[in-house]
Amino acid sequence: MMQPPLFDNGIDSVEVFKGIRFPGFIHTQESLRAACSFQFQDTDVLLVTFPKSGTTWMQQVLSLVFCEGHLGSIHHVPNWERMPWLEQIFFGKLCSSLNPGQPRLLTSHLPAEALGPVLQHSKARVVYMARNPKDVLVSFYHFHKLVNFLPDPSSFEDFVDEFLKGTGFFGSWFEHVKGWLGLQQDLNMLFVTYEELYQEPRATLQKLGDFLGRPLGPEKEDSILEQCTFSFMSQSSGVNYSQVPTTVMDPSRGLFMRKGVMGDWKKHFSPEQNETFNAVYQAKMGNSGLQLPWTMD
Ligand code: A3P
């Protein structure tokens, strides 16, 4: 199969797919369509997130679980090669170079409607990771300022508006979470949150190990937990995005490993923004019957 040429599109180009905007720099119609017809194998593990929900953190956890706590030679292999994104232009090439002796570890930001149909034909394990949307919003706002393939937000206020309307890049957080949770009964899926990994890392790791059929034990758990801390990952070139060219991610404008905490939204939201956010959250999520594990204040 012919691989699409890498970085064929300009850094600020936009690809609209299923009504959602994606950065055209790393997505094309072909790469997005190909993801929707990807043939999963029962041994695949797919991590799905809305951007800024702790994707890279979970990629590090999953890589470590599957190498029994010893990253060894993959320590410096960037996360996008260890666990490539299904929908990105590099996917075909990266997927074919994944270690054939191991389950394929894959990542996606696509909404449930895009991947649900193909996933339902397989027993592939899906780990869905969610984060308090207020912290997602703040992290995404800073990420827009950091990377050149997303537009600079005009103001925090406008960014909040766009997030609540669900018209920003990668679509609506609300639809993303509801869509994937709606597939819980149909897929081999584990729902995990940033907050539980933050507050109860060992218990969350054990839950993941069990779900993945890789029970770990205290020694491996210690080793994994040590290599998943914010400080360890900040120093690790495999997961701190320092291998990205500065024309794409400019370190003078911030760091990918920014703060890594719960509740940073409190330093950004005005009382009015918080009130508006809570009202929209309640309207969109309140009657969904979903029990999501964060408080909104
Ligand atoms: P902040 O911008 O709030 O600091 P993603 O990988 O989905 O893009 O998510 C990035 C967010 O996850 C960033 O949030 C980043 O700091 C945080 N993160 C990454 N590794 C982490 C870790 N080991 N512990 C806590 N947060 C982490």
Under the banding of pLDDT at 50, 70 and 90, the label for residue 7 is low
Under the banding of pLDDT at 50, 70 and 90, the label for residue 2 is very low
Whether 25 is in a domain gets the answer: yes
Ligand 1 proximity of 284 Cβ (cutoff 6 Å): no
Q: Which domain holds residue 151?
A: 14-285
**CA atoms of 31 and 269, how far apart (whole Å):** 36
Whether 87 is in a domain gets the answer: yes
Residue 72 token pair = 């060894």
Write the pLDDT tens digit of every residue in 147-165.
999 999 999 999 999 999 9
Q: What is the pLDDT of residue 4?
A: 43
pLDDT exceeds 60 at position 289: yes
**CA atoms of 43 and 31, how far apart (whole Å):** 22
| Rounded distance from Cα 240 to ligand 1 centre (Å) | 10
Name which residue sits closest to atom 14 of ligand 1, judged by CA.
260
Q: What is the pLDDT of residue 6?
A: 57
Residues 226-234 have a mean pLDDT of: 97
Under the banding of pLDDT at 50, 70 and 90, the label for residue 100 is confident
176 contacts: CB under 8 Å, gap ≥ 6: 50, 111, 112, 170
Amino acid at 157: E
The total number of structural domains in the chain stands at 1
Q: Which atom of ligand 1 is nearest to the CA of 260?
A: 26
Whether 296 is in a domain gets the answer: no
| Rounded distance from Cα 233 to ligand 1 centre (Å) | 10
Whether 156 is in a domain gets the answer: yes
**CA atoms of 64 and 71, how far apart (whole Å):** 6
Whether 293 is in a domain gets the answer: no
Write the pLDDT tens digit of every residue in 22-44.
999 999 999 999 999 999 999 99
More confident: 72 or 130 = 130
Write the pLDDT tens digit of every residue in 59-92.
999 999 999 888 887 889 999 999 999 999 999 9
Q: What is the pLDDT of residue 290?
A: 76
pLDDT exceeds 80 at position 167: yes
Q: Which atom of ligand 1 is nearest to the CA of 142?
A: 2
Ligand 1 proximity of 257 Cβ (cutoff 6 Å): yes
Residue 206 token pair = 């054990």
Residue 87 token pair = 């929908």
- Catalytic center residues: 109
Ligand 1 proximity of 64 Cβ (cutoff 6 Å): no
Helices (H), the chain: 29-36, 55-66, 79-82, 91-96, 112-119, 133-146, 156-165, 173-181, 194-199, 201-211, 218-227, 230-234, 271-285
Q: What pTM was computed for the model?
A: 0.96
| Rounded distance from Cα 75 to ligand 1 centre (Å) | 18
| Rounded distance from Cα 53 to ligand 1 centre (Å) | 7
**CA atoms of 46 and 68, how far apart (whole Å):** 18
Range scoring the smallest mean pLDDT among 72-76, 112-116, 200-204, 247-251: 72-76
Q: What is the pLDDT of residue 1?
A: 38
Whether 84 is in a domain gets the answer: yes
Ligand 1 proximity of 51 Cβ (cutoff 6 Å): yes
Range scoring the smallest mean pLDDT among 95-99, 134-138, 262-266, 283-287: 283-287
Name which residue sits closest to atom 23 of ligand 1, judged by CA.
230
- C-alpha distances (whole Å) from 26 to each of 2, 18, 99 are 17, 17, 23
Ligand 1 proximity of 55 Cβ (cutoff 6 Å): yes
Under the banding of pLDDT at 50, 70 and 90, the label for residue 112 is very high
Residue 86 token pair = 């299904």
Q: At what angle do helices 112-119 and 173-181 cross, to 10 degrees?
A: 20
Whether 146 is in a domain gets the answer: yes
147: domain CATH number is 3.40.50.300
Whether 71 is in a domain gets the answer: yes
- Give residue 186's Cα distance to chain centre: 21
Q: What is the pLDDT of residue 288?
A: 74
